[in-house]
Amino acid sequence: MNSTMERGAVRVSEAVSAALSAGRPVVALESTIFSRLGLPSPANSEAMRRCMAAIRKEGAEPAVTAILDGTARVGLEPGEEERILAGTRKVAERDVAVAVAQDLAVGVTTVSASVALAHAAGIEVFATGGIGGVHRGAEVTGDISADLDALANHPVITVCAGAKAFLDLARTLEYLETIGVPVLGWQHDWFPAFYVRSSGLPVPHRVDSAPVVADVLRSRMRERTGVLLTVPIPPADELDEAALSGALAAALAACEAEHITGAAVTPFVLARIEEQTAGASVPANLALAENNASVAAAVAAALCGAETPATQP
């Protein structure tokens, strides 16, 4: 794969291109979580460092997705990390073409854009914190994240800690069933709720090893459809469910009072939850993102036929 593709196409970094050419495992990463729109500084920088280190520890190559200087990028070159950390423009899948056409200097990618760019580069595994989903009140607003459509239309395994806790998780699971996306629980029987290990909703299918996850992707009935692998936050990093419930209610009330809608909801609510939990949500976010990256690397290794400690049950 050429790491210096023509402008307007996806450009793959030298390290990621070399890994793909050699048949080594690669894990795509979104860049929103590493920007000012994802986690406050310096936690965003720590998140990038920990996620990339977790992937490399399993023998895989991390591939951060972004828009830089009007080019869709998969993988960063040395020295480009700081541009991502300072990013303030979010780019979803629908926005990629506009960002390229308008020569956007820095665009940080959401789940939908990252999944699409991963697929375009030939990467089959993507790790993130939590996906978007069906928003509360969607029966009135129609607010359903483009993340779900991307999962249904790109053959990529998305590894996450469930959907953002402030979403309508039951309807999100229903929607994923409707669009035909297999939902798996990593060594767990319950759909995670981001900061807590269980939403109280059963996950459709439990899986206990990375090779099984890889086989699910290979055996899917629809060639274009991806797989959602949900990984609960490590037990030691889980937030208190009662305290989180109160913080979430306060954040959603503030969101409604200030008439926050659309793409602005996620950063607003996450910032309010951080405030309401006295900052406890940030270390939890770091822990789950790192854990997801590690599991994703094990799955990527399984797809390549490689063995790592994390591929075992």
Residue 313: band (very low, low, confident or very high) from pLDDT cuts 50, 70, 90: very low
CB 161 within 8 A of CB 146: no
Amino acid sitting at position 56: R
Q: Which domains can be identified in the chain, with CATH numbers?
A: 10-308 (3.40.1790.10)
- pLDDT higher than threshold 70 for residue 66: yes
pLDDT score at 7: 36
Q: Is the model more confident about 10 or about 139?
A: 10
Cis preceding-peptide flag for 78 (omega within 30 of 0)? no
- DSSP structure class, residue 61: E
Residue 308: band (very low, low, confident or very high) from pLDDT cuts 50, 70, 90: low
For residue 115, what are its two tokens? 């999944």
How do beta strands 183-186 and 10-12 pair? unpaired
Residue 194 neighbours by CB distance under 10 Å: 28
CB 259 within 8 A of CB 191: no
User: Residue 190 pairs with which residues in a beta bridge?
Assistant: 202
Q: Identify the active-site residue in 124, 164, 274, 290.
A: 164
For residue 114, what are its two tokens? 């990252």
How far is 93 from 15, CA to CA, in rounded Å?
Answer: 24
pLDDT in tens, 43-58: 999 999 999 999 999 9
pLDDT score at 141: 82
- SS3 call for 196: strand
pTM over 0.85: yes
- DSSP structure class, residue 190: B
pLDDT in tens, 240-299: 988 888 888 888 888 888 888 776 777 788 788 888 887 888 999 999 999 999 999 999
pLDDT score at 77: 97
How far is 252 from 273, CA to CA, in rounded Å?
Answer: 9
**30 is a catalytic site residue:** yes
pLDDT in tens, 221-234: 899 999 999 999 99
Summary mean pLDDT of the chain? 92
Task: Select from 198, 113, 197, 94 the least CA-distant residue to 158.
Answer: 113
pLDDT in tens, 136-195: 888 888 889 999 999 999 999 999 999 988 899 999 999 999 999 999 999 999 999 999
**164 is a catalytic site residue:** yes
pLDDT score at 306: 64
- pLDDT higher than threshold 60 for residue 6: no
**Where does 220-280 have alpha helices with state H?**
241-257, 265-276
Residue 310 neighbours by CB distance under 10 Å: 18
